[in-house]
Structure 1
Amino acid sequence: MHGLEDILAEELQQLGGASNIRTHKRSVSCEGDLEFLYRANLNLRTALKILVPVHKFTARNEQQLYDEVMKHDWSKYLKLEQTFAIDNTIFSEYFKHSKYAALKTKDAMVDQFRKKMGRRPSVDIKNPDVQFDLHAFKDQFTISVDSSGHTLNRRGYREPGHEAPMNEVLAAGLLKLAGWNKSIPLVDPMCGTGTILIEAAMMGQNIPPNLNRREFGFKNWTNYHPELWNKVLAEGRAGIRKAKLDISGGDIDGDTVLRANKSLRKFKLTDAVSIRRVALEDHKPQVAGRGMVVTNPPYGERIGRTNTNDFYKTISDVLKNNFTGYDAWVMSSNMQAFKHLKLRASKKIVLFNGALECKFQKYELYRGSKE
């Protein structure tokens, strides 16, 4: 995600086993072996997908694209009886329609199988056995095999039905950008389904984010090594450390709080996180005088007010009156409403929540003036 590149690079460094780590725009590259690939899929909190580049080439027209794809042996990654799909990201003046580039890539792959074996594998866009990723910048193409399959933010604790849940990867990124650690009391007074709080609890107890996930793209690869994966999985479970955490939150919507607590039970986190139904105005932290607020204020119907600016004024009043001594981190895409917080931001970070440009701002809540 935009704005989390350095955070992801730091995660790779801490995980161990990665070399030649480099940050790019909305991606981080590194080198590692098969065991590291498995560990990365299990443990990385701020990665959306882990792609393995297998073929790089130059193409400026559809025939060149087709010919270059035909040069590579795709049977190394895809069996005849398996289904596949091609995701694509194209930034090229030579290929105006990204779907057409993906179509030509697909044609070359299936034609290669047909020439070699007389038959071709089928395409399944929704749930392919093997997912390829086609990336182009100008005339430089890279085809990768997707080791993750579905995006890695799908941890498995999400309860369906919530209108605008925060992406789990973004929530983990906010906590890391804010510098939160398990010794700091954490509060989200507008927590919705509790994504920020659940990610914090998993971080605080060293629970691998994808421990409960069953499906990964690499499990359908020809070189899948189940014994090695089981070893990585066992190491992940052995590294969990149950710790007492001061993590709490609240929301005014009762149904949302019910979903949040169901999610906590799924991952056995009810001892680590407390989420209750409470209006923002009445929310007071369990630990007074020190801690951190990390929150993404709701908007639209869930506010229950007609004036968003007034709501942000209420947020600032509650933070100043009830959370003295805390550092408050607030993320929002509403730049106009931000002005009504009536607090001075000591740090501002630009992030994206989907297509929405947001700011993630830090407020130090002193009693009286800072001086």
Structure 2
Amino acid sequence: MGNNFKMVAKTLYGFEELLAKELRNLGAMNVQTGIRNVSFEGDTGFMYKANLCLRTAIKIIKPINSFLVNDEHELYKKIYAMDWSPYLSVDTTFAIDATVNSDNFTHALYVSQKTKDAIVDKFRDQEGKRPDVDIKTPDMRINIHIQKDQCNVALDSSGASLHHRGYRTATNIAPINEVLAAGLLLHSGWNGQCDFLDPMCGSGTMLTEAAMIACNIPANINRKGFAFEKWSDFDEDLYEKIVSSSLQKTREFHHKIIGYDKAPSAIEKAKDNVANANLSDYIEIEQQNFFDSEKFTKNHLHMVFNPPYGERLNIEMEEFYASIGNTLKRQYPGTDAWFITSNLEALKFVGLRPSRKIKVFNSHLESKLVKYVMYEGSKKGKYIEKDKA
């Protein structure tokens, strides 16, 4: 317990409770949700495990200081006053990431520059040399967040956003973010206990994330690296133990995960990405137009997909969304169908009443994750669940 420290996991809007649940399941202490973030406590090994295993986190940062600040001169003085020697030396490189939401500070780039100046001036004054800035691959990435007059300084243990899983090398016109895909799957209740279909699979991200959840494979097992691996106190043996322990918790999957897409180019990209994730044994991908398809199983089917919104793909929205509803009604009894859209007007043409609506964001687009329950037998085509939105 004495070695525990506070960390903050950043996430997407609407995924805070999902992330908090993930953290508790991993063993985090003192988990508290914020807006697009969840704070928690753990030791160094847990920091490694959080980066490796969390599906809905974008970054894991380690706060090291917090203070009030009213202008750039005060920011410079307080950053300069900090002891940077535990984190940096004249031989390490660093980069600053800043976000600001303040009347006193309006330009994040300027805050980054003042922070950089204070750090390099401190080293130059004390040691006669200064560490270099490396924006692309620094040894240490420092996070500055100014909210009104509160400045929080943290170390970024992740590096590149954790949605960069490492398996996706080929994408289509409008690929879905891996963290977004995982969060949508978790919101839908997907746990690998039945057959799964993504009927518009694109480059296969939803399929891959679904398989990783079903098999309890660590989300970032295919990633090339994390920022903490360049830290001076990085414990490689401990990290290898964390990886080994996490892989021992994987499980077998005894159902089908299938993806359709009508574009041959998408099929090839999806197969490549699935192969990169070492999941080809668990995922089948077929060239198929969803609107001409039928349910492939007599058992319950879980469906999650990301249809075109009309933002970057030119389609006739009214006809397209009507076809989604008709296909579900006629061809997919015994199915829980979930999909995300930012085109809220187009939802009217589905012709079904969603039983759930969850507000999420796809990049900058406010969207809804909607659920349609298609019943078996005499209830086929009925969708009487009360709207919870």
The TM-score bracket by the shorter chain reads over 0.9
* Change over 3 Å in CA distance of 1:344–1:120 after alignment to 2: same
Aligned Cα root-mean-square deviation (Å): 1.5
In structure 2, the CA distance between the partners of 1:46 and 1:52, relative to structure 1 (3 Å rule), is same
Asked whether the equivalents of residues 92 and 139 of structure 1 are also in contact (C-alpha less than 8 Å), the reply is yes
Pick from 72, 90, 98 the counterpart of residue 80 of structure 1.
90
User: Aligned-pair distance for 1:300?
Assistant: 4.5
* 1:77-106 deviation per Cα after TM superposition (whole angstroms, max 9, x unaligned): 122222111111100011122211111111
Q: Does 1:13 align with 2:24?
A: yes
TM-score, with structure 2 as normaliser? 0.92
CA contact (8 A) 1:5 1:27 kept: yes
Instruction: Give the deviation of 1:319 after TM superposition.
Output: 1.1
Letter in 1 for 2:127: M
In 1, Cα distance between equivalents of 2:237 and 2:354: 50
Q: Give the match for residue 332 of structure 1.
A: 341
Range with greater deviation from structure 2 (236-245 or 205-214): 236-245
Specify which of 213, 217, 231 is matched with residue 207 of structure 1: 217
Q: CA shift at 1:368, angstroms?
A: 4.1
**1:162-192 Cα distance to aligned partner (Å, 9 max, x none):** 2221111111101110111111211110111
Q: Sort the Cα spacing of 1:77 and 1:65 in 2 relative to 1 into closer, same or farther, 3 A.
A: same
Name whichever of 18-27 and 232-241 sits farther off. 232-241
Q: Which amino acid aligns with 2:175?
A: P
Letter in 2 for 1:298: P
Distance 2:118 2:315 in 1: 55
Q: Find the counterpart in structure 2 of residue 63 from structure 1.
A: 73
1:258 aligns with 2:271: no
For the Cα contact (< 8 Å) 1:289–1:324, is it kept in 2? no
Does residue 307 of the first structure (1) align with residue 320 of the second (2)? no
Question: How far, CA to CA, are the matches of 1:127 and 1:343 in structure 2?
Answer: 49
249-258 vs 260-269, which deviates more? 260-269
CA drift at 1:119: 0.9
1:135 paired residue number: 145
Mapped to 1, the partners of 2:293 and 2:168 lie a distance apart of: 24
Which stretch of structure 1 is more off in the superposition, 242-251 or 49-58?
242-251
Per the alignment, residue 350 of structure 1 pairs with 359
Q: In structure 1, what is the equivalent of residue 7 of structure 2?
A: none
Note if 1:109 corresponds to 2:122: no
TM superposition shift of 1:338:
1.1
Distance in 2 separating the partners of 1:345 and 1:134 = 41
Query: 1:35-46 maps to which residues of 2 (within 5 A)?
Result: 35-46=45-56
**Aligned amino acid, residue 373 of structure 2:** E
Q: What is the deviation of 1:302?
A: 8.4
Contact 1:289 1:323 in 2 (8 A): no
Q: Give the corresponding residue for 2:5.
A: none
SS in 1 for 2:85: helix
Identity %, equivalent residues? 43
Cα displacement (A) at 1:13: 0.3
Aligned pairs (5 A) from 1:1-371: 1-16=12-27, 18-300=28-310, 306-366=315-375, 367-370=380-383
| Aligned-partner Cα distance in 2 for 1:104–1:148 | 23
Q: How many residues align?
A: 369
Whether the 8 Å CA contact 1:79–1:121 is kept in 2: the answer is: yes
Superposed CA deviations along residues 33-88 of structure 1, whole A, max 9, x for unmatched, are 00100111110010001000001111001111111111211121122222111111
Distance in 2 (alpha carbons) for counterparts of 1:201 and 1:161: 18
Q: 2: CA distance between counterparts of 1:344 and 1:301?
A: 24
2:8 aligns with none
1:187 and 1:285 in contact (8 A); partners too: no
Query: Taking structure 1 as the reference length, what is the TM-score of the superposition?
Result: 0.96
Distance 2:138 2:173 in 1: 27
Shift of the 201–113 alpha-carbon distance from structure 1 to 2, 3 Å rule, reads same
- Taking the aligned partners of 2:93 and 2:330, their CA distance within structure 1 comes to 58
- 2:250, 2:268 → 1: CA distance? 26
Q: Which moved more, 1:124-133 or 1:108-117?
A: 124-133
- The separation in 1 between residues aligned to 2:382 and 2:172, in whole angstroms, is 40
Return the offset for 1:284.
Answer: 2.2
Please say if residues 170 and 203 of structure 2, whose CA atoms lie closer than 8 Å, have aligned partners that are also in contact. no
Alpha-carbon distance in structure 2 between the residues aligned to 1:301 and 1:28: 31
Does the CA-based 8 Å contact 2:355-2:373 persist in structure 1? yes
Amino acid at match of 1:369: K
Cα distance, 1:11 vs structure 2: 0.1
